[in-house]
Structure 1
Amino acid sequence: MSFSLSTTVVSLEGDQLYTFEYAAWVTETSVMLVKVYVELGVIEPIGSMLHRREIARIGQIQRLRQDLGLNLVGAAMVLDMAAEIAQLRAQLKAHQTYRSTVN
């Protein structure tokens, strides 16, 4: 499948953004499913475009659903909790580093 130049745009911040069609193609899903994910708040578009991290999230959700048999809400919760754990670990490491330099 080939895409026109309108498949991607660059945001004001300099990030590449992609169409729903491109996201569906890359994640081997459908545009309809991408739109459902947007409507349910599972992924967050920027207008009618998606950031690379949102496309990666679609792929991760699909793998969790296929490999572990999770439903959409369960897969989204797993990814949200994993992100929160990573954030907490980073905060803990920063706190430990700070404490070791103060003591």
Structure 2
Amino acid sequence: MSHQDTVVVEWFDEQQPLTLSEVCQAANASAEFLQALIDHGVIEPQGQAPKHWRFTSISINKVKRANRLQQDLGVNIAGAALALELLDQITELKQELALLKAKGSAEHHNP
């Protein structure tokens, strides 16, 4: 890696709330894009007005994923919101299935 190649790693405390500008910067997205995601329920800020909004670090991941869906696949905001919701449901179902399999396996081995 040459001196011109730099890698920037940002760590966010999951408990530390982030401002709108911090999420925009971390996710490389505009405030308008975040507003559209909020309008479609993809991310949910805490606070009454944009200058008081606070987000969790999970919001960064959701904004990045929505941005990728839009840029790479040409999905509109509503489509990205639906896709992310379905992907989250799939993840939850996989976790539930893994728990059920583990429970079933434990019961089978310990009658």
Q: Into which bin does the TM-score normalised by the smaller protein fall?
A: 0.7 to 0.9
Aligned residue identity for 1:84: Q
Once the two structures are superposed, residues 58-101 of structure 1 have per-residue CA deviations (whole angstroms, 9 ceiling, x without a partner) of: 11100110001101111111111111111111111111111111
| Residues 91-100 or 32-41, more deviating | 32-41
Q: Computing the radius of gyration over CA atoms, which structure comes out larger, 1 or 2?
A: 2
Aligned match for 1:65, one of 65, 70, 73: 70
The number of aligned residues is 91
Runs of 4+ in 1 over 6 A off after TM superposition: none
In structure 2, runs of 5+ residues without a counterpart are 1-12, 48-52
| Partner AA of 2:19 in structure 1 | T
**Larger relative contact order (Cα-Cα within 8 Å, sequence gap ≥ 6):** 2
Shift of 1:42: 2.0
Asked if 1 retains the 8 angstrom alpha-carbon contact of 2:15 and 2:56, the reply is yes
Give the gaps of 5 or more residues in structure 1: 1-9
Aligned to 2:84: 79
TM superposition shift of 1:57: 0.6
Superposition TM-score, scaled by structure 2 size: 0.73
Q: Percent identity?
A: 27
Deviation at residue 39 of structure 1 after TM alignment: 3.0
Q: Hey, what's the Cα distance between the residues in 1 that align with 2:31 and 2:73?
A: 23
